[in-house]
Amino acid sequence: MEHRNPAPAEIARQRPPDDPRLDLVAGSVDLPGGPIRYVHPRDAAALLYEEDVAADQSYPPYWAEVWPSGVELARAVSGQDWQGVPALELGCGLGLPSVAVALAGARVLATDRSADALAFAAVNAEQNGARIETAVCSWDDADALVSRGPFRLVLAADVLYGQRNIDELTALLPRLLTADGVVWIADPDRPLTGDFLAATRAGWQSVETTPTQVPEVHLHRLTGPPRVTASG
Ligand SMILES: C[S@@+](CC[C@H](N)C(=O)[O-])C[C@H]1O[C@@H](n2cnc3c(N)ncnc32)[C@H](O)[C@@H]1O
């Protein structure tokens, strides 16, 4: 039987798949270390909320969008020498920073509470020839993640929204980092970011904020974590 690839016009006429996670859009971003290609669901709003039965909560599928902070964090780490550095990404979504830092030599663990996000991060790494590990992890239940550390580099993009996120990350970040490690957080000046930074400045040795190519997105670098006490 003859097999031929469908013409572009035929593809455009095809019905999208029933599962919106499989209705994909491809994109790419030019970074200092070279371009990164990625795929993501076409319509994040069509995806189901994620159910957290234990916490009796559900969350919007924020992981499925390409957020400017994720792109800017990928840009910031790209092209630098991270050879052999143990790195962790929290709330990785589609995983662009993880891919960029892995291509720059880091040993990367990409994490998110959404298993779907991690499937996309893994595919995005693979299509760029990057090696990353992935693990499901919620910040309120992170003992297993802490035991895989400490990490010299912790990355997070656009995670400083909601008081619960702020509280959980404030408690968790010092537990994840080596004494000489650094946290890089890219953030689009969310309403609670100022509170987070104020609390962080009080406990950490230094917090340095620099602009990115996107005016509202800033990069915050935290070093010198406060000592973790037995109570957390
Ligand atoms: C706004 S999205 C940003 C995604 C990605 N970092 C980016 O910039 O494109 C927030 C991400 O954090 C994850 N997230 C939110 N709260 C979390 C929690 N408590 N534990 C783990 N991941 C969480 C979400 O699943 C989502 O992928």
Ligand 1 in reach of 20 Cβ (< 6 A) = no
pLDDT of residue 24: 77
Rounded to the nearest angstrom, the distance between the alpha carbon of 116 and the centre of ligand 1 is 12
Residue from 36, 132, 140, 159 to probe ligand 1 pocket by mutation (most atoms less than 8 Å from CB): 159
pLDDT over 70 (residue 230):
no
Backbone CA torsion sign across 133, 138, 141, 146:
positive
Three-class SS state of 115: helix
**Range 205-212 average pLDDT:** 98
Angle at 17 between CA 45 and CA 128, to 5 degrees: 80
Q: Contact 185/219 with Cβ under 8 angstroms?
A: yes
Q: Map out the domains of the chain as residue ranges.
A: 63-223
Distance (Å) from CA 95 to ligand 1 centroid: 10
Check pocket membership of 94 for ligand 1, CB cut-off 6 A: yes
Q: Is the CB of 184 under 6 A from ligand 1?
A: no
Quick one: 19 exposed, middle or buried, by C-beta within 10 A (0-12, 13-18, 19+)?
A: exposed
Q: Is the pTM of this model over 0.75?
A: yes
**CATH of 63-223 given 3.50.50.60, 3.40.50.150, 3.40.50.2300, 3.20.20.70:** 3.40.50.150
Q: What is the pLDDT of residues 146-201, one digit of tens each?
A: 999 999 999 999 999 999 999 999 999 999 999 999 999 999 999 999 999 999 99
Place 203 in a pLDDT band, splitting at 50, 70 and 90: very high
